[in-house]
């Protein structure tokens, strides 16, 4: 695990997911490296108004893990931490002051041109269920230095 283990995510991506009623929804996710951080800007149109999410991820060399601060234009914010293990990157949400299930972000099926991303919630029995699955397709071909 190292400071470049998130580089697979760098680039501009067309993203899509199954919305209500099985309708395919779409957006764009732009991910860049600025100094020692990974910056993400996620945008998607929505009938109720555009959804905009942003994150800043940084490698914590002392803890040997990634830390991500995420927020969106609908009032959601969270802090995640974790690392890459074999073929997946998993960042678990650091619990806030209120009660609620543990959640995590999981990047899998990581390839230079495509990634699968899941927002998962932990069930009472300890199993994980995806509550939002996004398919990534790379727009550009030169933006990432994939470490696969």
DSSP state letters, 95-128: P-SS----EEEEEEEEETTEEEEEEEEE-TTS-E
Q: Which of 98, 63, 110, 108 is nearest to 82 (CA)?
A: 63
Lowest mean pLDDT among 19-23, 35-39, 106-110, 132-136: 19-23
Average the pLDDT over 29-53 and give the result.
91
Distance CA 26, CA 21 (A): 15
Beta strands in the chain (DSSP E): 11-18, 24-34, 37-44, 51-60, 65-72, 77-85, 88-93, 103-111, 114-122, 128-138
For residue 22, give the 3-state DSSP assignment: helix
* Domain boundaries 7-138, corresponding CATH code: 2.40.128.20
The tens digit of pLDDT for each residue in 46-59 reads 766 799 999 999 99
pLDDT at 12: 96
| pTM confidence score | 0.88
Domain residue extents for the chain: 7-138
What tokens were used for 64?
Answer: 């040997």
Average the pLDDT over 64-68 and give the result.
95
- Rounded alpha-carbon distances, angstroms, from residue 109 to 8, 37, 49, 113, 125: 11, 23, 31, 10, 26
pLDDT at 146: 37
Catalogue the long-range contacts made by 120-128 (C-beta closer than 8 Å, 24 or more residues apart).
128/104
């Amino acid at each position: 695990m190292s400071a470049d283990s998130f580089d697979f995510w760098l680039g501009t991506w067309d993203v899509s997911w199954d919305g209500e009623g099985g309708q395919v929804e779409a957006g764009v996710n732009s991910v860049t490296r600025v100094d020692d951080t990974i910056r993400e800007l996620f945008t998607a149109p929505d009938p109720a108004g555009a959804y905009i999410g942003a994150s800043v991820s940084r490698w914590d060399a002392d803890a040997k893990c990634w830390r991500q601060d995420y927020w969106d234009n609908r009032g959601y914010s969270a802090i995640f931490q974790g690392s890459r293990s074999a073929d997946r990157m998993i960042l678990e949400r650091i619990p806030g002051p209120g009660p609620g299930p543990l959640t995590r972000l999981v990047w899998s099926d990581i390839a230079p041109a495509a990634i699968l991303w899941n927002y998962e919630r932990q069930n009472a029995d300890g199993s994980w269920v995806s509550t939002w699955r996004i398919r990534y397709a790379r727009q550009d071909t030169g933006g990432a230095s994939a470490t696969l």
